[in-house]
Amino acid sequence: MAAFPFEIEATDGKARTGVLKTPRGDIRTPAFMPVGTAATVKAMTVDQVKDTGADIILGNTYHLMLRPSAERVKRLGGLHKFMRWDKPILTDSGGFQVMSLSGISKLTEEAVTFSSHVDGSKHVLTPERSIEIQADLLGSDIVMQLDECVAWPAEEARARKGMELSARWAKRSKDAFGTRDTQVLFGIQQGSTFENLRRESSERLREIGFDGYAIGGLAVGEGHQAMCEVLDYAPGFLPEDRPRYLMGVGKPIDLVEAVARGVDMFDCVLPTRSGRHGQAWTWDGPINLKNAKYAEDETPLDPDSDCPASRDYSKAYLRHLFKAEEILGQVLLSWHNIAFFQALTAAMRAAIAEGRFEQFRRDFAARHLGG
């Protein structure tokens, strides 16, 4: 009884393209979700984000529960109204940031306890509280279970411990979430780089039953090759008829290789973070606009793009903005990068629909990595 229909319209090898239908609008897959950490996709207006073709954005539970607080967002009408984004929002569980950003954290069977990076205040996050924050207070459309993302590299025993805790928290999350008409819950597969653990994790999640399934614990330092090796088998352990979401990924080449292995959804801070630091992602690979060779380059980043930031401004001007440390440089390059990631997923969707994904994959790699 999945609340959001997921219609797979075409497959090409393991790659799939389709639509996840939500009350707030369709999510075309493969989908890239721009990250709106603190109720803003950094340096962009929601209209700019929308114009890039993004169907859904991600919000971070950890940041929002600390500032302005989930209760305040609720009193202000929920996250969509607060930030003026009326399409779907996926929120993470807060677990990953608790472990990577916060002060000393204590992890028990019951909960994770941590100190705020904002003001040092102490907070407790349980699977149930994470559901309450995401589903009841922020009001997100796609809710993620709280999990433990084990650091890489991990011994198998440590990876198993994290996977098993995540599985028990998956059950508690599901019990707390129940069944809702307009919101769905995704479970998260863990198991580090161990195939047997990934399989066992998936079996436990399927037994509980979720509306979608994420692959967690990757893109944590293992590198592209090791990630691809896990993705050779990990998506296949998850139900074919539900969306598969690879969390925190990644570079354009990571997206293409993950789609080739059956992944449907992605999120990553890379395009906005790169954009704030002068790096533009293009079909021809990443370029650093601070480089002197762009000082009098009158060409835009992408003359064929519909995005004004990609199409209308010269590299020389963008470089000037970064050299002069002007905010507009960060605005335009974040905008361009998000537009590029959306163009990339759109191109993958078209290639899969037309049965030429393998050719696309080869051409993309040759051009993007060849420069």
Residues that bind a second copy (CB under 8 A): 38-40, 42-45, 47, 63, 67-68, 72, 75-77, 82-84, 276, 295-296, 298, 308, 312-314, 316-317, 320-321, 323-324, 326-328, 330-332
Find the shortest distance in angstroms from Cβ 35 to a second copy.
Answer: 13
Active site residue 12: no
Task: Kindly tell me which of 12 and 51 has the beta carbon lying closer to a second copy.
Answer: 51
Query: Which among 12, 26, 51, 92 is annotated as catalytic?
Result: 92
Find the shortest distance in angstroms from Cβ 76 to a second copy.
Answer: 5
Q: For residue 190, say whether it is annotated as part of any ligand binding site.
A: yes
Task: Kindly tell me which of 82 and 357 has the beta carbon lying closer to a second copy.
Answer: 82
| 153-156 long-range Cβ contacts below 8 angstroms, 24+ apart | 153/192, 153/193, 153/221, 153/222, 154/192, 156/192, 156/194, 156/197
For 56, the 3-state DSSP assignment is: coil
**CA distance linking residue 227 with residue 217, whole number of Å:** 10
Query: What six digits make up the tokens of 343?
Result: 């163009």
Task: Kindly tell me which of 169 and 313 has the beta carbon lying closer to a second copy.
Answer: 313
Buried-exposed string 218-257: b where 16+ CB fall within 10 A, e elsewhere: bbbebeeeebbebbeebbebbbeebbbbbbbbbbbbbbbb
Find the shortest distance in angstroms from Cβ 195 to a second copy.
Answer: 41
Q: For residue 147, say whether it is annotated as part of any ligand binding site.
A: yes
Task: Kindly tell me which of 178 and 303 has the beta carbon lying closer to a second copy.
Answer: 303
Q: For residue 92, say whether it is annotated as part of any ligand binding site.
A: yes
Q: For residue 216, say whether it is annotated as part of any ligand binding site.
A: no
Q: For residue 96, say whether it is annotated as part of any ligand binding site.
A: yes
Find the shortest distance in angstroms from Cβ 81 to a second copy.
Answer: 9
Q: For residue 371, say whether it is annotated as part of any ligand binding site.
A: no
Cα dihedral 335, 65, 28, 279, rounded to 10, equals 30
The alpha-helical segments, DSSP class H, found in the chain are 46-51, 61-66, 70-75, 79-83, 95-101, 127-131, 156-177, 195-208, 223-231, 252-260, 270-276, 308-311, 315-323, 327-353, 357-370
Residue partners of 195: CB distance under 8 A and separation at least 6? 230, 233
Active site residue 232: no
Find the shortest distance in angstroms from Cβ 83 to a second copy.
Answer: 7
Task: Kindly tell me which of 298 and 304 has the beta carbon lying closer to a second copy.
Answer: 298
Query: Which among 55, 141, 211, 267 is annotated as catalytic?
Result: 267
**CA distance linking residue 205 with residue 346, whole number of Å:** 30
Cis ω before 250 (30° cut-off from 0)? yes
User: Which residue ranges make up the annotated binding site for substrate?
Assistant: 92-96, 147, 190, 217
User: Which residue ranges make up the annotated binding site?
Assistant: 92-96, 147, 190, 217
Residues known to be catalytic: 92, 267
